[in-house]
Each structure stands twice: as structure tokens, then as C-alpha cells.
Structure 1
Amino acid sequence: MKNIGFLSFGHWGSHPSYQTQSASDTLLQSIDLAVAAEEIGIDGAYFRVHHYAAQLASPFPLLAAIGAKTSKIEIGTGVIDMRYENPLYMVEEAGAADLISGGRLQLGVSRGSPEQVIDGWRYFGYEPLEGESDADMGRRKTLEFLEKLKGIGFAQPNPHPMFPNPPGLLRLEPHSEGMRERIWWGAGSNATAIWAAEQGMNLQSSTLKEDESGKPFHVQQAEQIRLYKEAWKEAGHKREPRVSVSRSIFALVNDQDRWYFGQEADRRDKVGVIEKDKRAIFGRSYAAEPDQLIKELAKDEAIQEADTLLLTVPNTLGVDYNVHVLSSILEHVAPALGWR
């Protein structure tokens, strides 16, 4: 059995084929898709966070709105770039959105991916400390965020406050119990997956990671997950960790599917160079008739290692078509693979 969610990049633009012509379209359709996904039995609604782009950026208003309109589906991100965040303000935002949803937030955070703007976090008012890289800054902010999520008082109260204070040091409010255990780290390497395990965070592994062995993407990702689980066990955490992988998977069940995604049937892993000359491997997409799709997915080692599968959706094609995409996986693929 697996949790199956969707992951939306939240694109919009003026392309004539797009159902999302504006930011408003994307935000409102994201809410509608989450509601519809819950109705058909999807377990999670997750959203990417990218700054300076015609994509979803500030997640908490959207997560809160979805939380208010749904009752069961997990609501999350994949991922919030911590280089851009004020950890204390984020604790308040996360606490509020989580309480509105009844404790269903699953927040993916990370150092972040290459962005549209050079050192875009500087415009948000943040600078690495002396001797610190931007990646170090992102991890430092993450640790502060995790610490403050515990709800332990740390701030000295004013002796003459506007309103009476409880005794002792004050914590941030609103506090949502259990939120600390529902933070996921988006790991792009084996080392950061191990670090996430040591910090007691769940693991998100996307369709991109550093190419550390030259092996096929799904094999490298499965190895990363196993290293994470070993590190979790060694750290002595008391709860079981969760692990998600994301995939582009399309069951071709009608002519529209074949027209949109039939050309992706022979797609393979790709190797390229991302920032600072890092060699990266990009996982393939899956698009085939259901019987063939089941055979191909059964060989994906990383999906087998994960408890949660996030299906990337083409949000620009509109709510109805994306509900069809998700329904096709649930109906024609998931049962044969033991996911349902």
C-alpha cells in the first residue's frame, strides 16, 4: 500500500492552450483540484514553491484555503526554499495553516533548487553568515524552524504587556502540536538525505538528484533512500520515518492522453550539469498503455522503497483533465502494483 498524492508546479502563462492564464487561475484551480482529488481518493495535494517566476510561490495562503475546503487529504509542499524564509514567521504561518486543516500539513523544505534570479534570497533581506554558503544558511534556518516548532518557550516576556502573559518564557503562537514530525527534507544528494535522517525529518526525493554513481536514476534514488533509513535507525528516533518520491506517470487510456503524452513513451534518464558544475541525473517520465506502464513501474526500485508517491501533474491543462490523469492511475495502474 502507498500514499498517492499529486505535485503541482503551479504554472500559468498566456499560451493559448493553457487553462491557467493568470496567477488567480492557478491558485483557484489548485484549490479545486485538491478538493476533487480528495473526492476520488487521492491522499495528498502538494505544491512546488518557486520565486520570481510565473509559478506558485507563497504557499501558506493556498494551503490554508485547501485545508478549509477539504477534510482528509494531506496538504504539503515540495519544497519551500529555506534560504528565503524567516524561520520564526514561518512557524506562525505553518501553525495557523495546520490548525485550519486539522493537522494535515506535510511541509517539504530544503535548501532549494536553482532559481530565476542570482542569489534571489538577498532581495528578501538575507545574507549568509561569515564563512557560510547559501546552502549552509538554508540548513541553519531549517534547524531554527524545527527547534521553534517544538513549542518550547524561548522569548523573555515584557513585564508590562498589553495582555497578561502565562508564566515563564513565551513561545510562538499559534502552536500546532505534532507539526514538528511532519516536516520533510528535499534531498538532492546522499549526504543531505543522511543529514535529514539525523535531524528527524521525513525524506522527499524528487526526479532530480546529484549523479553520484553513474547508475540509472531509480537505482541511485533507491540507494539514497536506504542510506536515509539506515541513518534514521542509527539516530535512534522513536517513530517510523516517511519517504516520498515524485514521478511523471501517465496512463494512456484515450486519444487525448496519447496526443498529449504518447511522444514520451521512450523517454529515458537524462544527465546534465546544474549550478556550480554539479553533475545531475534527471529521472525519466513514464507514459504508456496501462499494461506496459505496470511492467515498467514494477522495475522502479525507488518507488518500491518509498511509502508515498507524488504524481507530477500538468496543471496548465486544467482541473478536469488532471482529475482524469489521477483517476487513470488509481483505476488502471495502482491496484496491479499493490499500491491500492
Structure 2
Amino acid sequence: MPPTSTPLEKLGFLTIGLFDEADPRRGHESTLEIVELGERLGFDSAWVRHRHLQYGISSPVAVLAAVSQRTSRIELGTAVIPLGWENPLRLAEDLATVDILSGGRLNPGVSVGPPMHYDHVKQALYPRTAETEDFGYERVQRLLDFVRGKPATDFSGVEGIEVFSDRVQPVSPGLGRRMWYGGGSLRSARWAGEHGMNLLTSSVVKAEESEDFAEVQLSHIRAFRAQHPDGDRARVSQGLVVIPTDSASPEQRAKYEAYAAQRMPRTAAPQGPARMMFAPDLVGPSERIAEQLYAHAAFREVTEVAFALPFTFEHEDYVQILTDIATRLGPALGWRPAG
């Protein structure tokens, strides 16, 4: 167990932003209200997931632009934007614009790999280049270069009455240091460290050196920091599904426990050809969850977290969970609310 002199420094949360196809505005409004609540409760950060062709947030940058105008302090992140769907130059423009609008609060998290169900969507996404697209780390490198101010063109200057820059505009100082990589493998962890990114490690990892989730996650964190210029000071955020029940109603407790039980079988062994491992959801009183976290080898290695909210709950459930995290669980981990 970590000594009490090592408190949790940054407490965040992650939401998928589900909505009903018949009333998408209500779902998006719920997401905005949840982030506003998070700021009032003193959370340090709020993160949104990215879902394409589903009933979740398909445009997290646009959502965070709206959130930036309804909050003033809380950091805003994406966990994560899958770059296989993106043009790095255009995304760099969007990220810099929202970072400027937010006053330097944006924390973009990204990942690589082919888009989900690529064979079914490639003709809509890349009708002429589907077979030649590169979905590897080079795509992240291009984004980093543009965000960090490297030239995007060999043309600049004045043409008529228009002025052109050779860099992505606007330039947002500091954004390049707030870029995160969502990695679940040793290779990704090392790459992120070598390229000076921050590391988002979630409730899903690849079983490479062990079949113990905490040990695997710990190895990723240490591999990342071993390659990062900042060493042990390099930023890592852990994202587990955490559901405190301190102020939950009996009906809510039953729902939460059923949700976790339904997902528990996948945590018993590595899943599929990629040997992916899933962490169990932590459900119960904050005091018990704190003990479980303190016993988690990877949690003891970090000082910031972004606890993931469950996918399919109601707005009132998220209010209860966030309130308990901020007022019960956070303090039990040594955290103090911001602001």
C-alpha cells in the first residue's frame, strides 16, 4: 500500500456520451451537464470516448469545444481518438482551435490501428486509397509534428491580400506537451515514451509478459517511463471502471452489481487472438474500492487517474457515481478537489 505521503494528485473521469437515436440532443446535453458537474465537484479532468457509426460521441473535439464554453477550469481530454479515421493535418487544426478556446485545457488522447470493421467502411472512408493507407505510428508522428509546429507546406507568404503560414494555425503553445497515447501493449508504451507523449493506460491491456492484469499494466508503465525524456516524472493516467455505491439506492446497487457480474467472465483469461486482458470493474463502498486500488500494482505507480463511467447507465446514476467519487473515494485516496 502506498504511504499516505503519496496522495492521488489528479482525479478525472471518462464518459462515452451515449444518446438515443430518436433524441440525440438530450444525450449530448447530458454529457455537457456531467462535465459541468465534474468541474463543480472539483475533478481535475473530464475525458470523452470516441465512437464512430454508433450511438456515442462521434465528434469529441466538437463536444469539447462546447464544453470549453460552459466550464472554466477542468481539463478536457479525448480517450481516445482512433487516428485511422482522421487526417492528421485537419485534426491538428481542430485540436489547436479548441485548445485556444478552452484556454489551454485540452488533453488529446489518440491511438492507431485500422478503423473498426474496416472492410465494411473502407469504401466510404478511403474510396481510392483504402489498400494503401498507413494506420501505424507514422500517423501519430504526423499529428505530433503539426501540433508541435513543424511545417505542413513549403509555401508561405502573401498572395494578393491573403497571408499564408507554413504551419498549422492557430498555434497553441503547450498543446504538444499535452498529447496522450492510449496504449495497451509494450510496443505502444515504449513508442509513446520515445516520442515524448503522455500515456493513457485503461482497463484493457495485451497479455504479453504475464496473465496478471496489474503486472502487465505495471510493465507497460515502467517501459514507457524508461524511454521517456522525463523518466519517472513522465505522466501516466490509469483508467479503470470504478463504481462507488456509498449514496446509491438499493436499485442502483443491484444494477451496478449486475453490470459488473455480466462483464466479469472476460477478466478470467486473455481474450481472442490478440490476447487482450480486461480488468474487473470495481463496485462497492469507497473504502473497499480504495483498498482494492491500493493493492493494485499499477495504481501504486501513478498519481493521476481517469476513472471510466459504465457505458449504459442513466444520467442520475452518473451523478451519484461522480459525487461519491469526488466526496468519498477521492479523499480516501488522498486527493483534494481542485479550485
- How far apart are the structure 2 equivalents of 1:337 and 1:122? 48
CA 1:297–1:237 in structure 2 vs 1: closer, same or farther (change >3 Å)?
closer
Amino acid at match of 1:81: P
1:8 to 2:10 alignment: no
CA 1:218–1:119 in structure 2 vs 1: closer, same or farther (change >3 Å)?
farther
Amino acid at match of 2:319: V
- How far apart are the structure 1 equivalents of 2:309 and 2:19? 13
Q: TM-score, normalised by structure 2?
A: 0.86
- What is the Cα-based RMSD across aligned positions, in Å? 2.6
The answer as to whether partners of 1:49 and 1:77 remain within 8 angstroms in 2 is yes
- How far apart are the structure 1 equivalents of 2:101 and 2:221? 32
CA 1:201–1:121 in structure 2 vs 1: closer, same or farther (change >3 Å)?
farther
Secondary structure at the residue paired with 1:218?
helix
Secondary structure at the residue paired with 2:269?
strand
Q: 2:242: which partner in 1?
A: 249
The answer as to whether partners of 1:208 and 1:281 remain within 8 angstroms in 2 is yes
Q: 2:193: which partner in 1?
A: 197
Q: 1:322: which partner in 2?
A: 318
Q: Deviations over 1:212-237 (max 9, x none)?
A: 133321221011101111111xxx35
Match 1:188 to one of 180, 184, 188: 184
Q: Deviations over 1:41-98 (max 9, x none)?
A: 1111111112121111111110100011101111011111111111111111011111
The answer as to whether partners of 1:12 and 1:316 remain within 8 angstroms in 2 is no
Secondary structure at the residue paired with 1:273?
coil
1:147 to 2:145 alignment: yes
Q: 1:280: which partner in 2?
A: 276
Q: Mark the runs of 5 or more structure 1 residues left unpaired by the alignment.
A: 15-20
The answer as to whether partners of 1:129 and 1:137 remain within 8 angstroms in 2 is no
Q: Mark the runs of 5 or more structure 2 residues left unpaired by the alignment.
A: 1-7
The answer as to whether partners of 2:84 and 2:114 remain within 8 angstroms in 1 is no
Secondary structure at the residue paired with 1:78?
strand
CA 1:114–1:129 in structure 2 vs 1: closer, same or farther (change >3 Å)?
closer
- How far apart are the structure 1 equivalents of 2:303 and 2:130? 35
Q: Deviations over 1:164-211 (max 9, x none)?
A: 437xx6212111111111110111201110011001110011111111
- How far apart are the structure 2 equivalents of 1:171 and 1:218? 42
Secondary structure at the residue paired with 2:110?
strand
- How far apart are the structure 1 equivalents of 2:223 and 2:232? 17
